[in-house]
Structure formats: C-alpha cells, structure tokens
Structure 1
C-alpha cells in the first residue's frame, strides 16, 4: 500500500481549471466535511473511466463519462488517533460514478459528478 496521504485541501490542485462552479462546490463540500471530521485519505483510489456518450457536433459539445471507482486500496485515517476508520458497511468497495463534461473555450470542464453506491462494478 502506498503511503501517499491526501489532506482535505484543494490547494495546488487547479480544480477550478477542470470543474465548473457546481461540480467544484460538491468537491469542496466533501473536503470541508473531511476537515470537520479530522480525517485524511491514504492510499490509492482506482479508476476505470469510459466515455459512454459524446455529442461533439453540438454548439456546446458534451460528454458523459462512467467511472468504476475502486476504494480497495483507499483508507480514511482519523488524524487525532492515526487509526484507520472502517468504511460504512453499506459502502461498496467498487461503485459507478457518472461525470458530465462540456467543452468550454479553455477545454473540457466537468459540470456534474454523481457517485452511485447502489451500482457496483
């Protein structure tokens, strides 16, 4: 397992270059929750993303991307005790997340991101 640790901060990620205000606010909300809970993430988050639809000729080109998110090498650590917190029992280790992206003048931007823990992969 990698010792790479992720803190609950977006500094240095340049996310505003890749995510619209709505998608970025969801991400920042998740980070704020982690910071409030005093947790960090350690390990690797797996992805297997595929474009499932693409409208490249529309006035505003749009793509839908489905990703198989893999949490099997991902750990949430309590920063007060440095102990691993178990995932909720109803949290699958692999689940589908769907992103919507639009081609803006500066490149592709994620406009929405919806994890779906009910859909395993």
Structure 2
C-alpha cells in the first residue's frame, strides 16, 4: 500500500499537470536508483504473484492450455504444476476459488551470471477447493491437511524476466 500511495500521488501530480519531462524524470531517477535491491524484490514478488495467478487458472480447468504458466515458471516449479494438472485431469477434478498468501523475498543475490531469489510464503488454501468436474461436488481436505502452511520458492532472473524455478510446500510448517 505504501508503494501505491507514493506512486499515485507522485505520478498523478507531476506527470498529468506538469509537462516538463526534466522535473518528472529527475525525481524518478533519484527515487529509483538508491535502492535497486528493493526494485528487484518488487519484480520477484510480481513474478511470483503472476505465477500463482496462472497456476490457479490451470488448476481451475485442469489444463495449462490458455494460461501463461510457462511465462513465469520453469524447471521444477513448472514440472510440479504440470504434474498436478495431469493428476487432476485423470481424476476428473479441478479447483475453485483461489489461495491467498503473505509472501516475502528472504534472499536476493545479484552475483554470478544469473540473479537468484528465495521466497517464503504463508499460503492459505481454505478458500481453494478441489471439486469433481462432472458434479461440482467439493472434495473435503484430508483431515491432516493444514489450511495455512509455509511454502518456499526459488526464482532466477532470465534476461529481464524473473522465473519461479522451484516451489516447495512445507505442509508440516504451519503459519
């Protein structure tokens, strides 16, 4: 919310009412350059959110066709989602609703050829239900299934795009 509040007051006030680009670009460059780490973390979180949006779409239809999952996930994360979709398709299930999460970047490394990030998420699946596709009947969660648990992820920056490379649900670590 702080980013939205700062961005909307700065952007709407200066870009729509003052036309000189010099005054608009100088504060933007000054505010963006002091903390490239914060900007990179924001990019990682945007990619992670987009990955989850696309994964929810894929699970809702039990198919990755028509989603941009491959744009945000690769390696083990993409393989895991594709495997889940295949199991769901064979079982005649899909999902409805969506999980919510509270996510943070726990580490960010720019050294080496490929920047990397680690993510920790408190995933809440209480409103993300598995259903039988033909009947729409909700499948109950297993009795030992926590509804809120830690999920960790790894991301790598490929060119200009952050990609989710691993996603590890840690169901024994509740949050």
TM-score clears 0.5: yes
Specify the alignment match of 2:98 in structure 1.
44
Alpha-carbon distance between aligned partners in 1 of 2:154 and 2:79, rounded to the nearest angstrom: 15
Higher normalized strand content (fraction of residues): 1
Aligned: 1:10 with 2:60: no
Alpha-carbon distance between aligned partners in 1 of 2:165 and 2:98, rounded to the nearest angstrom: 24
Alpha-carbon distance between aligned partners in 1 of 2:165 and 2:159, rounded to the nearest angstrom: 14
Higher normalized helix content (fraction of residues): 2
Q: How many aligned residue pairs are there?
A: 118
2:76 and 2:167 in contact (8 A); partners too: no
Select the residue among 54, 72, 93 that pairs with 2:147: 93
Relative contact order, higher structure (CA 8 A, sep 6+): 1
| TM value normalised by structure 2 | 0.63
Alpha-carbon distance between aligned partners in 1 of 2:118 and 2:110, rounded to the nearest angstrom: 11
Aligned: 1:59 with 2:113: yes
Decide which structure has the larger Cα Rg and report it.
Answer: 2
| TM value normalised by structure 1 | 0.89
Select the residue among 69, 82, 87 that pairs with 2:136: 82
Q: Give the 3-state SS of the residue equivalent to 1:48 in structure 2.
A: strand
Unaligned 5+ runs, structure 1:
none
User: RMSD over aligned Cα, in angstroms?
Assistant: 1.7
Q: Give the 3-state SS of the residue equivalent to 1:72 in structure 2.
A: coil
Give runs of ≥4 in structure 1 deviating > 6 Å. Answer: none
Unaligned 5+ runs, structure 2:
1-56
